Chain A
Amino acid sequence: NAGVTQNPKFQVLKTGQSMTLQCAQDMNHNSMYWYRQDPGMGLRLIYYSASEGTTDKGEVPNGYNVSRLNKREFSLRLESAAPSQTSVYFCASSEGTGGSGYGYTFGSGTRLTVV
């Protein structure tokens, strides 16, 4: 039982390049989330998907797009990377959304550097 799997674990991009961060969960959870963590700070929500087929913006969505491919997979895309997007990205899943009272399971993170 792998939980939440993220790929890649590390990535270096040049400014303007695009890439997709992959996330998959095997717990049959309904909700999935993308967070970013900047040095010395807590996590900030980028996008979430309350259920298959739906996505919504979080606190810091600018510069990102997401796709809920199916119940298991939720991808995050950077269309034109900027140095301000250098961060550690975490994917998480839960049975329900944050306001519904369920615990979160996090992946191990993707460390992204944009030069």
Chain B
Amino acid sequence: GIQVEQSPPDLILQEGANSTLRCNFSDSVNNLQWFHQNPWGQLINLFYIPSGTKQNGRLSATTVATERYSLLYISSSQTTDSGVYFCAVGGYNNNDMRFGAGTRLTVKP
């Protein structure tokens, strides 16, 4: 199956700072999603982005499919942004999504 690597594994920010999270994958994908798992364990879908760029408020994401990576940008971070961010990818020839190990983000007030 497709291999997914996320970096950095841990990130600590002061409130108001910006950050970039990276997701590398090993093969062509037909599906790429970013999720936020909050401290209570709930998984929230942030973006469905197999290619191109999308923005939603302070969050944006870019996927460069030809170079097999995706970036999640968080601007003006808030304490509520804390949690784990997962990248998940699905290929053309498989019917399941593979998750990376996640980036744990801590935003300090």
Contacts and interface: CB of A to CB of B under 8 A. Distances in A.
Interface of A: 33, 35, 40-45, 48, 50, 56, 58-59, 88, 90, 97-106, 108-109
B33 interface: yes
A43 B73 CA distance: 22
Interface string B21-38: 000000000110101000
Contacts of B1: 59
B83 interface: no
A97 B50 contact: no
Interface in B77-102: 86, 88, 90-102
A90 B44 CA distance: 12
A98 B25 CA distance: 15
A42 B45 CA distance: 15
Interface residues of B, number: 28
Contacts of A101: 30-31, 48, 50, 90
B13 interface: no
30 contacts: A33-B96, A35-B99, A40-B101, A41-B102, A42-B100, A42-B102, A43-B88, A45-B96, A59-B96, A59-B98, A88-B41, A90-B43, A97-B96, A98-B31, A99-B31, A99-B90, A99-B91, A99-B92, A99-B94, A101-B48, A101-B90, A103-B33, A103-B45, A104-B45, A104-B97, A106-B35, A106-B42, A106-B44, A108-B42, A109-B43
A35 B48 CA distance: 19
A34 to B, nearest CB: 11
A103 B89 CA distance: 11
A59 B93 CA distance: 15
Nearest to A35: B99
Given A42-B86, A88-B41, A109-B41, A48 B48 contact: no
